[in-house]
Structure 1
Amino acid sequence: MMGRLVRPRALVVGERIRFDGQVRVILAVSARSITVSDLGKEPRAVPPADLFAADDFEVFGGPGRMPLPSASLLETLPSAVLEKALWWEAHVLEVLHGLPPDAAPGTEPKPEYALALSLTARERAKAAELSAAGHKVSASTVGSQRRSYETGGVLGLADRRAARKTPKYGTVDAEVVAAMQQAISEAVDASTRNGAFLLWRTGEILKSREEAQAVELPSRHNFLASCRFLEIDVQPAHKGSPFEKGHIEKMLSSVGTLFVQFLSGFTGRNTDRRGRRLDRQPLWSLLELQELLDGWLVARWQNRRHDGLRDPSHPGRSFTPNERYAALVEACGYVPVALSGDDYSELLPAVWRAVNDYGIKIKRRTYDSPELTPFRRQDSGVRAKKGLWEIHHDPYDVSRIWVRNHFGDGEWMQAAWKHLRRVPVPFGEMAWDHAARGLPEGTEAEIADAVSDLLARAHAGPGATAKPRRTARDKRVTARTRAAGSSSDVARAQPSSAESVPPPTEDESLAEVIPLGLFDPLEDPWRRK
């Protein structure tokens, strides 16, 4: 179900690559440039970003890196199969990196898993360890599981045979089914409640049963599975305990004092430090702010000396992030490659939908593409999802979705929103849901026009039109969505405040002004007047 090899996990000296129409050899690797051979000329130094972005960039030989595994497909597996796959993952990670995923910080690898040993030696050691613990496996089995994990993540370790059998209630535990049936029967004669109450009541019933206390309600194995595949260590912090991630809080504070306070419309750390009439200042959109922040990070932050970046050999000198990164690249001997576009699509939220004659429907929006033609009204083959298709979408941009080709190699097919041309700027789910609530019986086109009007009114300002005053939620929604795209196009299409608001006439009556009384701190508030 996975895509084809797209790019390597890292580049090292001696690898053969294709770049700029030639097959070259990597001669040297540093943080700022990769030196490659050039036919009949002197070696050529190329910035890593330019090398990876080249259309003809390709690596010959050596293991490649697969796109992220489809973590959303993990929920289609039976709990026993998934538990077995996670068990294998812990052992495979110890073979690959010397430590299991739950190892405490500072833990040293066991001698038999030292990274100085060959991968074959570590696989033999793991086979011996598992066999001694009662799990009879061979070194070849460990190697096979390791290769499956490198190409497919946790999903590659799962026994897919069990997933082909579709039980009556899918992959839900029998105890959960029994508890939910009891919750439904209790609600027959009670007042009408929604599904959230039934899920809560099901959980309470499971807690009261001794034999079902260890049973958990179905949940989604996506963020953590992706982090393990990308070799990212997750260290959760307690809620309301910012001191546990002091380095993050310190960085946010530094960004605030070194960058944010220089912006027009800076609001201060809290309301006590907030200025007056900030809304009258020229304000940046979110996309413009992101561009400014990116430039500041490259020019200032990455070249700013940090007290926490020091070298034991030179304790009296602090280094910049760029200097420390360059030193680490020189020490490890390779340059890591960034995620591909397919990897980012893989990390987006997933839903399951049917591919109909008209396309795909998500929240009263229709998406379609010529690529979907061979799959219309077709079963995806994923039995645990009743033949539906895996769809990934961006909550902050409803203009397009990505559909996984379950009949191919798992590649993505992009489908655009049917009414994309009706709205001048991109927007997210929040704006769509807000407009849809105001039009419960509205068509897809009417909701799209309502969103477009909402964004246009937000940009035009409170005095530009004679339409009803915006509510607090209107302001909150538009503030978070109008900057999803360039607002300059909308600005050119809207009249200025001076053009749209007529000047007051002499006969125009003014509203009655009712003065407020003076506040008396010594007055009895309970005394009748």
Structure 2
Amino acid sequence: MPSRPRLLRAGDLVRFDGRLHTVAALEGTAVRLVDEGQSASVVMLAHLLSSDGFEVVTPASVRTVVPPAGALEGLPAKAVERAEWWQRHLVEMLTGRPLEDPHGSVKPEYDPAVCSLRQRELAKAAELAAAGTAVSLTVLQDMRARFEREGVLGLVDPRLRAASDGTGRADRRVVEALRKVVDEQTDRSTVSAQVLRRRMERLLESEHGPGVVPLPSRATFYRLLKAVSSGRHTLGSARTRRSLAKQPDGMFGQLTAARPGEVMEIDSTPHPR
């Protein structure tokens, strides 16, 4: 049986009751679903997650086909063209449908219902090679991960991106390596910032080669570490850090009722008898 996701978000494409549905909204313990025939239904979250055959076919993060307004604004034309090229291919690979026609027919070789992610990746790599654009499986997987994590902006050369996450115009390769180091620190014992810096440097060397990526100054490193680890207690108590990491992301969205009585709120708070 497919593994159960920890979270469900508006926009997810899910399989339930033998059909594909889009999660339209979540509120409290209710989930509003819309199937491919545009029929709406409301089910209890617990019932949905425990149903036989239930699975998240495609997370909302990879089903977003419209980039945030201004996401690529100000970037070189060639960089934008390249990012949009990748986006078209990745959306097709992940959802089975063309970016321009999200409700069109599913391509058999990219159908998430019958093909594993690796099978779809191999099919896309073969397609690109046949079209004269050879892309290694490793590069394809890296671009897919960046797209799932950051959207279309993740497909832009990191050195061309000006981040709004507190890291400024720092080399994105450095920022990404530091993020990985901070992520890996969650379940480890607390160490000093200098240990994290050495781990980041080793990671950059292993991923890009010795001396390829210029290393930040001490002051810049501390600024980046502060931005990347904000709210995560990376240099503080390990117990607090792990507790924060276990907190779920925001789960609830807006549930809009089109007619009076269409949605009923249920108080799930236990009360003493």
TM-score by length of 1: 0.21
TM-score by length of 2: 0.38
Q: Highest relative contact order (Cα 8 Å, sep 6+), 1 or 2?
A: 2
